[in-house]
Amino acid sequence: MTSAEFWNLLLKAIGILGGVGVVAAAIAGFTAKFMADRSIEKHKAALRRETERLKSELGKETETHKLNLKKQEMNYNRQLDAVSEFIALHQSMGPQSSFPGKNWHDVREGILEDFADSESKLKAYRRKFAAVLSVNARNLLSEAILIAEDNKFYGLPGSEVTDEEAEKAADTFVETLKSLEEELLQQVN
């Protein structure tokens, strides 16, 4: 083997090895790109699933929030109805001066005479609106009903209620109704 043949053979070997390197590099590049694309697609799919899950959760939370708002709106409307009806009821039961010169004693007598009617009106009101009244409002309403119950027989034969007790009960009844109205108004404001 001559030196020319040796160099020729060496150059061919280097060329073959270089070509194999290029082919190997090309195959390695293709494989790396293929694996990277697959990995990216898997990641995109996982992100899409997560996005759909979050959209679903957000939709459920939105519907729950809407339902709660609707319930609050309905409850508030019931509270407004309760306040409006009580104000009308209070005005019909409250102290009324039906003629000029009527003094507080005469007005109080009218309240005492109407205790039985007031009791039934207040009980009907409680049946209708107790669910939307605050605890304090329910307590004041119960107190007013109790005053009317305890004193509705004033002035009838056999009644053990004295004039002084009855007058005090009428005053307390009027103040309780006033406090109840203030509580109801405060509840909706």
User: Residue ranges of the domains in the chain?
Assistant: 3-188
Whole-number pLDDT of residue 17: 67
Helix ranges, the chain (H) = 3-93, 104-113, 115-129, 135-151, 163-188
Helix ranges, 94-162 (H) = 104-113, 115-129, 135-151
pTM of the model as a whole: 0.66
pLDDT digits (tens, 9 = 90+) for 31-77: 888 888 898 999 999 999 999 999 999 999 999 999 999 999 998 99
Longest dimension (CA), the chain: 151
Whole-number pLDDT of residue 19: 64
